[in-house]
Amino acid sequence: MKLTQLINGLKLQNSIEEDLYDLVIQGLADSSQEVEEGFVFIAIKGFKDDGHNHISHAIEKGANLVVGEQHIEDLPVPYLQVDNARIALGILAKNFYGNPASRKLMIGITGTNGKTTTSYLVKHLLEQNGISCSVMGTIQNIVNGSSIKSANTTPSSLILQKLLALSNDDAVVMEVSSHGLTQHRIEGIEFDVCLFTNLHHEHLDYHGSMDSYFEAKAVLFDHLKPDGTAIVNIDDEWGEKLDRDLLEKGKNVCSIGQLKNSRLRIQSFDMEHSTLRLDDAEETLIQSPMAGIHNLYNSLMAYATALSVGIEKKAILSTITNFPGVEGRFETSKTQSGAVVIVDYAHTPDAVYHCLTTAKEAGANRITHIFGFRGDRDSSKRREMIEITSKISDRYIITTDDLNSVPVEEMRSLYSELNDRYGNEKGFIQMDRTKAIKDAIDSSSEGDWVVITGKGHEKYSHQFEIPTESDKETVNFMVKPPKAD
Ligand SMILES: CC(=O)N[C@H]1[C@@H](OP(=O)(O)OP(=O)(O)OC[C@H]2O[C@@H](n3ccc(=O)[nH]c3=O)[C@H](O)[C@@H]2O)O[C@H](CO)[C@@H](O)[C@@H]1O[C@H](C)C(=O)N[C@@H](C)C(=O)N[C@H](CCC(=O)O)C(=O)O
Ligand SMILES: Nc1ncnc2c1ncn2[C@@H]1O[C@H](COP(=O)(O)OP(=O)(O)OP(=O)(O)O)[C@@H](O)[C@H]1O
């Protein structure tokens, strides 16, 4: 591709020589390590490192042009100075890959909880009704039916545009994280449908306050096409605010919820049968394939999305019931003694609340809850999580999650301090996650529930006594121990 096409739409701080417009560009890289001959290197000032310090490395590897934010002179290759290198990366990547999003039905989902579950529900409804669909999110990216490992929930703009160009699918449903939004990872992308699930206490280590966390999430809706639809859960107070803001801007909003002004209004829930009834002329009954009120909301969001892209109501209602579920989201097993074991990715106070309440509503006799806190991550949600579990569970075991840089003994004393302050006598500490699960399963019987939250589909980052690599493997090990030789 020639430079003149590549920089279309890019605002430059410096002027460039006219003969440069014909420069042929072979590829783009935002890491000097990935530069090849004839590439453009985009220098980004990051959170840990600064791409500007790696410019000479990029040139050594063959970069024939560099883009960055600093004022730099006398480079051996041309240099383009921009205001914001992350935005520039988005524009360049979109141009380089030929704006692939413009040829697809684009669906973006944001919110604290429910993005993954809702995106898999939407994919299911689309595909069951003849629309092939890529997924980009926390667990993996799925493109043309193949799974591709994801490093971020929302990929960098460079990876995102590359994946979009690779996709032959009709539609793309992607989780759009607040980090992705503040870091301009969706720069240059316009969506046909944008969803807001809810906003709860999370990532305040990064955003500072709920207000700025909300502002970050709301940016997704600036990427809605003029004729696109916003689907917003207004039973969430931040969703209600978003709905008001979007209506003021003249956007097309399909609000969902119990409030009177909801476009798709919930008349009632039936938790026993996992259904919700809409307050419409037909009193539409939506069957959630997964337990819990939160999954009824996820199902309604997916229903609204499918409706907005033109799938017939009858077809949606019949295909939603055979949704197979999502890895690590309320996955259920039964032990030999008849206890129910749940593995769930809940890692926010609200998600933990929903998970434990769902177990209670399903008739759990005694609930043992196993969970932990991630080292170096949002510490402000820990108090609320302990308070919730100490109220709802009959016993809770605080254990290791990902320690990151925190030594295990430091984490243990932190747990002990937090539990003394905010917990009660139902709480125990067992730093070996697999032993905590074993202990909980061994001491549970028919009708009891063991609810393991926090890691969901993820692999362990640490070794424990039982040689397993995930909560699901540990549960399987306990439920079906390996046969002796
Ligand atoms: C804190 C954070 O968000 N970091 C993200 C950010 O990295 P960064 O640009 O700050 O990277 P950096 O290490 O400081 O490096 C700066 C620049 O120097 C370059 N470099 C570096 C070394 C070198 O030798 N040569 C070189 O050119 C790097 O390639 C980079 O361009 O931009 C990268 C590319 O987009 C992201 O992959 C990376 O996500 C990291 C891995 C991460 O953990 N992010 C989390 C917080 C995150 O984004 N999470 C959300 C989900 C949250 C949720 O649960 O809802 C997500 O969307 O994943
Ligand atoms: N609508 C919802 N409201 C509250 N909690 C939910 C909702 N949907 C799912 N959860 C809970 O949150 C957990 C994570 O769900 P899911 O992976 O769908 O959300 P997510 O937004 O993708 O999360 P993350 O950004 O951390 O990947 C689930 O395991 C469940 O406990």
Ligand located closest to 456 CA: 2
Question: CB 315: neighbour CB atoms within 10 A?
Answer: 14
Q: In this predicted structure, which of 34-43, 170-179, 231-240, 369-378 has the lowest mean pLDDT?
A: 369-378
Could you tell me the two tokens for 205? 């280590």
**What digits encode the pLDDT tens for the residues 389-417?**
999 999 999 999 999 999 999 999 999 99
Asked if residue 416 and residue 383 are part of one domain, the reply reads yes
- Class of residue 10 by CB neighbours under 10 A (exposed 0-12, middle 13-18, buried 19+): middle
439 close to ligand 2 (CB < 6 Angstrom): no
Stretch 104-120: mean pLDDT, rounded? 96
Asked if residue 113 and residue 156 are part of one domain, the reply reads yes
Structure-model confidence comparison of residues 201 and 191, the more confident one: 191
Asked if residue 217 and residue 117 are part of one domain, the reply reads yes
Q: Using CA atoms of 354, 359, 361, 364 in order, give the dihedral in degrees to the nearest 10.
A: -160
pLDDT for residue 485: 54
Q: Report if residue 67 sits inside a domain.
A: yes
Asked if residue 113 and residue 55 are part of one domain, the reply reads no
Q: Report if residue 485 sits inside a domain.
A: no
Q: Report if residue 406 sits inside a domain.
A: yes
Asked if residue 105 and residue 69 are part of one domain, the reply reads no
Could you tell me the two tokens for 398? 């605080």
Q: Report if residue 316 sits inside a domain.
A: yes
pLDDT for residue 289: 86
Asked if residue 368 and residue 399 are part of one domain, the reply reads yes
Asked if residue 270 and residue 289 are part of one domain, the reply reads yes
As annotated, the binding site for ATP includes 111-117
As annotated, the binding site includes 32, 111-117, 152-154, 177, 183, 185
As a whole number of angstroms, the distance between CA 60 and CA 453 comes to 47
Asked if residue 315 and residue 169 are part of one domain, the reply reads yes
pLDDT for residue 208: 86
Which of 150, 342, 345, 350 is the pocket-test mutation for ligand 2 (most atoms within 8 Å of CB)?
345
| Mean of all residue pLDDT scores within the chain | 95
Q: Report if residue 411 sits inside a domain.
A: yes
Asked if residue 301 and residue 387 are part of one domain, the reply reads no
**What digits encode the pLDDT tens for the residues 290-338?**
988 999 999 999 999 999 999 999 999 999 999 999 999 999 999 999 9
Asked if residue 343 and residue 207 are part of one domain, the reply reads no
Residue 138 CA: which ligand 1 atom is closest?
A: 58
300, 320, 340 - which closes a domain:
320
Q: Report how far ligand 1's centroid is from the alpha carbon of 455 (Å).
A: 21
* Beta-bridge partners for 269: 276
Ligand located closest to 154 CA: 1
Q: Report if residue 326 sits inside a domain.
A: no
pLDDT for residue 482: 57
The closest of 179, 444, 190 to 338, measured between CA atoms, is 444
As a whole number of angstroms, the distance between CA 153 and CA 116 comes to 9
State the pTM of this model. 0.92
Assign 207 a pLDDT band (cuts: 50, 70, 90).
Answer: confident
Q: Report how far ligand 1's centroid is from the alpha carbon of 151 (Å).
A: 9
Q: Report how far ligand 2's centroid is from the alpha carbon of 330 (Å).
A: 10
Domains in the chain: how many in total?
3
**What digits encode the pLDDT tens for the residues 151-189?**
999 999 999 999 999 999 999 999 999 999 999 999 999
256 and 303 Cβ atoms separated by less than 8 Å = no
* CATH number of the domain that residue 349 is part of: 3.90.190.20
60, 78, 96 - which closes a domain:
96
Q: Report how far ligand 2's centroid is from the alpha carbon of 113 (Å).
A: 4
* Res 378 pLDDT > 80: no
* Res 380 pLDDT > 90: no
pLDDT for residue 203: 74
34, 65, 96 - which closes a domain:
96
The closest of 399, 363, 348, 374 to 236, measured between CA atoms, is 348
**What digits encode the pLDDT tens for the residues 258-272?**
999 999 999 999 988
Boundaries of domain holding 468: 331-479
331 close to ligand 2 (CB < 6 Angstrom): no
437 close to ligand 2 (CB < 6 Angstrom): no
Assign 481 a pLDDT band (cuts: 50, 70, 90).
Answer: low
* Beta-bridge partners for 270: 275
Closest residue by Cα to atom 7, ligand 1, is: 46
Stretch 103-107: mean pLDDT, rounded? 98
Ligand located closest to 56 CA: 1
Asked if residue 142 and residue 37 are part of one domain, the reply reads no
Q: Report if residue 59 sits inside a domain.
A: yes
* CATH number of the domain that residue 33 is part of: 3.40.1390.10
Percentage above 90 pLDDT, the chain: 91
Asked if residue 181 and residue 295 are part of one domain, the reply reads yes
* CATH number of the domain that residue 224 is part of: 3.40.1190.10
